[in-house]
Amino acid sequence: MKAIAIVLLLVAVFIFLLPPSVVRLADPFHGPMKAIYRPPPPAPIENYVLTIEAESEREAYYRLGYAHAYYRLFQMDVMRRVAQGRLGELLGPAALDTDIYFRTRGLYISAEKSWLYIESNFPNVATVVLEYVNGVNDFITQNPPPIEYLILGKKPEPWAPTDVIAIVKLVAWSLSGGEADLELKRLADRLGQRFLEIALSRRQNTPILPRKAVFSPPRDAGDNWIISPHASNNWIISPQLSATNCAMLANDPHLLLSAPPIWIFQRVKTPGREVVGVAFPGTPLVTIGTNGHVAWGFTNTGIDVIDYYYYVWDGDRYFHNGTWREANRRVEEFKTCDADGRCSVWKVTVLETVHGPVVEYGGTRYAMRWLGNNITLEAVAMYEINRAKNLSDFLKALRYFITPSQNVVYADLNGTVAYFASGYLPLRNGGYLPFNGSRGEGEWGGYAWLPTVLSQINPPYLATANNKVADADVYLQWRWADRYRHDRIVELLAERLGRSGKVTVRDVMEIQLDVVDISCRDVKLLLKTLGGESSEKLLRELENWDCAMIPTSTTAAKYATFLYNLQKRAWEDFGVSLTLVPLEVTIEAIKSGLLDRRIVEEVAAEALKTSKPWGEMHVYDIRHVMGSVFPSFNYRKTEAPGSWFTVNVAPGSPGSEFRVSQGPSVRLIVAFCDGIYMSLPGGPDGDPLSPLYDAMYLPWVRGEYVKVG
């Protein structure tokens, strides 16, 4: 009996020591294994497209909400929680910093205000959002949670209309530049006025719009609702130059590549209307797509709509424009819960000045003013865009699109093509460096609606790739992307037109998949001008190379190593991210002697040591949120063609063996009179147990498309 008692005691101790997360994982009935059962889909995925057909708009969006939750609930929840600053409740203490970052910046607060405004002023939009939310919530209450929740031992919380708006705000924030102005200040403090001149003027650039934009006097004071480094390509081809004799539009927005993809490709069909394109899971409306009458696409302009203000502080009081003011205190409570259900609560006090929430950077307090922290109506804009039948409808809809400013390309069934820089520009003197708020600098004196100044109707063709929008008489932006992708697209379009006079859908696909990096032209010049022995050796190799960043090329690997190390050696000592400063600026800073010219030779010598082919170094690394614990949820690693400056962009993070986790988040081509073609970097279904989870990933890597309309 004594032996039995000892054995049972040992078992009891063992049980006590087992972490609940491990026990949950091993439970075949109520653990993750339960997810093998899945109810039948509420709406089919046809040819990778979620297809909703309904008799009314209300029914369609209800069913869409239900279907989004069926296919993507966990992903939706993660995005919502990031915006809320509540990710730690789901994923544990590791997410606390992210939570503090976003909660401090007040995204969800502005999403709440925006929703209340939409609810009272735009009943049609509110109905769509509410029906969608009802659909999501009915899915949550009527079905077992997806596998991720079963692993974590958590349950999804109900969806709210504010969550829809919050996801839009999150995307807007991620495209708005974040703390770039503060990083620029750090560089300017160290390198002086000459660096600022180089960074702001960028003599070597190709603006989207060739003419100078004139903003003064302000074109638009803004409506009452506004009072209160990502990269992408898009282009349009007019019917005269299109092989289909109808307008053509192409778009490949470059965003974070994730498993499942950041977009869901959907078709919502109601009597008299069919909208096809990509939407963010958690939001009902098509962001990029077509409704058969018009088609639209976006890339980020990088127009600066965030300002930072510093003050003289006395405790929590700050001196603003001649007056001492008490900063508003917002106490935020954060909860983090680990996988075993142990929770901790943290409190952070956020100060707010007249300009916005206070953040700390490099030991200094700055108040952040972001256009997106106002009531913004992008949901209204997208609702109207989804219904637009012509350019006039489309432009009316764009008035509601406040931030982030986008290079909007437009094409329609009648053959009109157009370009607009969307959004509003806060009118102020400067904006690239933090303002002295105590002196009253940098106050916003109204807003300019960008399409009134930055637009072009019916160009023969036009391309954007986050390059400079236009020279202007006011400050617009400083962080536009290097011109290489834009110039390459234009070069290839011109080449096709020169050859046959027309551009075909196949041509457009080939351009989207192009991996020639024309930055090599600038780099060759740099090596020729400033290099020594190693540079000459590298130059000789580059001269015999077509600048194609193909996986089998060792020269491509040497070139990429050179570029990466050049940026690293140039900027790492300044404590800024390596992607902050465009290559054009780095080259100019080296040529002007602002940076040590010897680094060119040193970096060339390092690059020559590279002997692996590019594809062995440069691989897609597309992860699920829980992929660090469950690597099988990540997409398979595979060689990635392209590089930072190719049209088929694949920016590697070299510190981690050139792993690529950003790129074309969708490739879309709308060719009126022909069809809609698309390619998604992953599967339409977010359930890792579904065969559709990664179904389109490898076809996307290979550059294949499906015709979806």
Partner 1 sequence: MSKWVKYTAALIPLLGAATPIHLVNVVIWPLVGGLLYGWLSEGRRDIATSPVVALTPVLVVTLYYMSLNFTRFLRYVEMLPTAVILWITSWMLFFSLGAMVGYVYKKSRGNSPARTRREAAPLQSGETH
Q: Is 9 in the site for partner 1 (CB under 8 A)?
A: no
Q: Is 40 in the site for partner 1 (CB under 8 A)?
A: no
Q: Is 682 in the site for partner 1 (CB under 8 A)?
A: no
Instruction: In angstroms, give the least distance from the CB of 377 to partner 1.
Output: 41
Angle between helices 161-174 and 123-142 (to 10 degrees): 100
Instruction: In angstroms, give the least distance from the CB of 699 to partner 1.
Output: 19
Tell me which of 200, 227, 343, 689 binds partner 1, using CB under 8 A.
689
- Fill in the per-residue mask, 631 to 660: x = in contact with partner 1 (CB under 8 A), - = not in contact: -xx---------------------------
Q: Segment near partner 1 (CB under 8 A), from 23-31, 379-387, 425-433, 700-708?
A: 23-31
Q: How far apart are CA 628 and CA 122, in angstroms?
A: 43
Tell me which of 13, 17, 37, 322 binds partner 1, using CB under 8 A.
37
Q: Is 26 in the site for partner 1 (CB under 8 A)?
A: yes
Phi then psi dihedrals of residue 502, to 5 deg: -140, 155
Amino acid at 571: W
- 660, 650 contact by CB (below 8 A): yes
Q: Segment near partner 1 (CB under 8 A), from 31-39, 98-106, 479-487, 676-684?
A: 31-39
The DSSP call for residue 196 is: H
- 648, 235 contact by CB (below 8 A): no
Q: Is 258 in the site for partner 1 (CB under 8 A)?
A: no
Which of 580, 620, 623 shows the shortest CA–CA distance to 75? Answer: 623
Please identify which residue in the block is written with the tokens 């609810």.
119
Q: Is 42 in the site for partner 1 (CB under 8 A)?
A: no
Q: Is 589 in the site for partner 1 (CB under 8 A)?
A: no
Q: Is 39 in the site for partner 1 (CB under 8 A)?
A: no
- 177, 432 contact by CB (below 8 A): no
Instruction: In angstroms, give the least distance from the CB of 641 to partner 1.
Output: 28
Q: How far apart are CA 546 and CA 553, in angstroms?
A: 10
Q: Is 3 in the site for partner 1 (CB under 8 A)?
A: yes
Query: Which of 22/312 has CB closer to partner 1?
Result: 22
Instruction: In angstroms, give the least distance from the CB of 682 to partner 1.
Output: 15
Q: Is 273 in the site for partner 1 (CB under 8 A)?
A: no
Instruction: In angstroms, give the least distance from the CB of 638 to partner 1.
Output: 18
Q: Is 144 in the site for partner 1 (CB under 8 A)?
A: no
Q: Segment near partner 1 (CB under 8 A), from 34-42, 115-123, 213-221, 651-659?
A: 34-42
Which of 497, 496, 464, 462 shows the shortest CA–CA distance to 483? Answer: 464
- 696, 679 contact by CB (below 8 A): yes
Residues 6+ apart with CB under 8 A from 50: 43, 44, 64, 67, 68, 71, 264, 265, 266, 267, 684
- 230, 662 contact by CB (below 8 A): yes
Query: Which of 155/211 has CB closer to partner 1?
Result: 155
- 679, 699 contact by CB (below 8 A): yes
Tell me which of 69, 410, 690, 705 binds partner 1, using CB under 8 A.
690
Q: Is 227 in the site for partner 1 (CB under 8 A)?
A: no
Q: Is 550 in the site for partner 1 (CB under 8 A)?
A: no
Signed CA dihedral, 473, 474, 476, 478: sign only: positive
Q: Could you tell me the maximum CA-CA distance found in the chain, to the nearest angstrom?
A: 95
Q: Is 31 in the site for partner 1 (CB under 8 A)?
A: yes
Q: Is 33 in the site for partner 1 (CB under 8 A)?
A: yes
Q: Is 343 in the site for partner 1 (CB under 8 A)?
A: no
Instruction: In angstroms, give the least distance from the CB of 71 to partner 1.
Output: 14
Query: Which of 74/215 has CB closer to partner 1?
Result: 74
Q: Is 630 in the site for partner 1 (CB under 8 A)?
A: yes
Q: Is 315 in the site for partner 1 (CB under 8 A)?
A: no
Q: Is 38 in the site for partner 1 (CB under 8 A)?
A: yes
- 67's tokens: 């279907």
Query: Which of 29/544 has CB closer to partner 1?
Result: 29
- 510's tokens: 């080939």
Query: Which of 280/693 has CB closer to partner 1?
Result: 693
Q: Provide the 10 A C-beta neighbour count for residue 36.
A: 9
- 524, 266 contact by CB (below 8 A): no
Q: Is 8 in the site for partner 1 (CB under 8 A)?
A: yes
Q: Segment near partner 1 (CB under 8 A), from 16-24, 180-188, 284-292, 636-644?
A: 16-24
Instruction: In angstroms, give the least distance from the CB of 624 to partner 1.
Output: 10
Q: Provide the 10 A C-beta neighbour count for residue 623.
A: 17
Please identify which residue in the block is written with the tokens 């037109």.
497
Query: Which of 14/217 has CB closer to partner 1?
Result: 14
Q: How far apart are CA 378 and CA 383, in angstroms?
A: 8
- 665, 262 contact by CB (below 8 A): yes
Which of 469, 65, 490, 581 shows the shortest CA–CA distance to 282? Answer: 65
Q: Is 524 in the site for partner 1 (CB under 8 A)?
A: no
Tell me which of 29, 210, 347, 360 binds partner 1, using CB under 8 A.
29
DSSP string of 24-71? HHH-TTTSGGGGG--PPPSS-EETTEEEEE-SSHHHHHHHHHHHHHHH
The vertex-157 CA angle with 57 and 341, nearest 5°, equals 160
Q: Is 302 in the site for partner 1 (CB under 8 A)?
A: no
The DSSP call for residue 646 is: S
| Count of residues touching partner 1 (by CB under 8 A) | 32
Query: Which of 3/331 has CB closer to partner 1?
Result: 3
Tell me which of 277, 642, 683, 688 binds partner 1, using CB under 8 A.
688
Instruction: In angstroms, give the least distance from the CB of 147 to partner 1.
Output: 8
Q: Is 13 in the site for partner 1 (CB under 8 A)?
A: no
The vertex-184 CA angle with 180 and 188, nearest 5°, equals 175
Query: Which of 26/494 has CB closer to partner 1?
Result: 26
Q: Is 4 in the site for partner 1 (CB under 8 A)?
A: yes
Residue numbers at the binding site for partner 1 (CB under 8 A) = 1, 3-4, 7-8, 11, 15, 18, 20, 22-33, 35-38, 630, 632-633, 688-691
